[in-house]
Copies of this chain bind each other. A is one copy, B any other.
Amino acid sequence: MAEALTSEAILAATEEVLRRYGPAKATVVDVAKALGVSHGSVYRHFPTKAALREAVTRRWLDAQHLAMEPAFDQGLTAAEMLRAWLQKLFDRKKLSHVDEPELFATYLVLVRESRGIPEYHVEHLVGQLARIISAGVETQEFVTDDVDRTAQAVWDATDRFHHPAHAQEWGDPHIQDAFDAVVSLVIAGLRYNRIPSAAGDA
């Protein structure tokens, strides 16, 4: 035999098979064939096909999260940082949707099919948002009595520009305009926002 079969090699091969055949056609047998082993060997490293797919998905998401890590070192206001972060997220999503629609669709299917993965993804990004908003609260640029809740609200309010269900709208020529309008509205709200914890509003 040549070399030991590693989980890493299986993940890489699975990624390649998913790219080539798409999520609907990719089979465990294909992965094994690409590695030159029997498909029984793959089951020695991953208990089910679903677990294998989920491992690939989590790996990909972690790379996305790393790429979105906000940079606090520059001399930007919180509003500028927030706008830049949201714009970067939007640009990345838009680009991958326009440039590689099939790969985008593939990972969309993968993310959706695993319970808990979408939550994992959103919670991570909302956490990054919260850190930016928190910085704004410290400099008294933003006002809020619940940073996490507000971060979630900003995420929800900008759903149209990052939720894959809206991907088809990202090709609209006026989409950047709509993005600017929503982000400006949200930032204006952050400057004077007091979200009630249960009910009531001024």
Contact = CB atoms under 8 A, between A and B. Distances in A.
A182 B153 CA distance: 5
Interface residues of A, number: 36
Q: How many copies does the complex hold?
A: 2
Interface string A76-88: 0001000100000
A31 to B, nearest CB: 31
Q: What is the predominant secondary structure among interface residues of chain A facing chain B?
A: helix
B184 A156 contact: no
A93 to B, nearest CB: 15
A192 interface: yes
Nearest to A193: B188
Interface of A: 79, 83, 149-150, 152-154, 156-160, 163, 165-166, 177-178, 180-182, 184-196, 199, 201-202
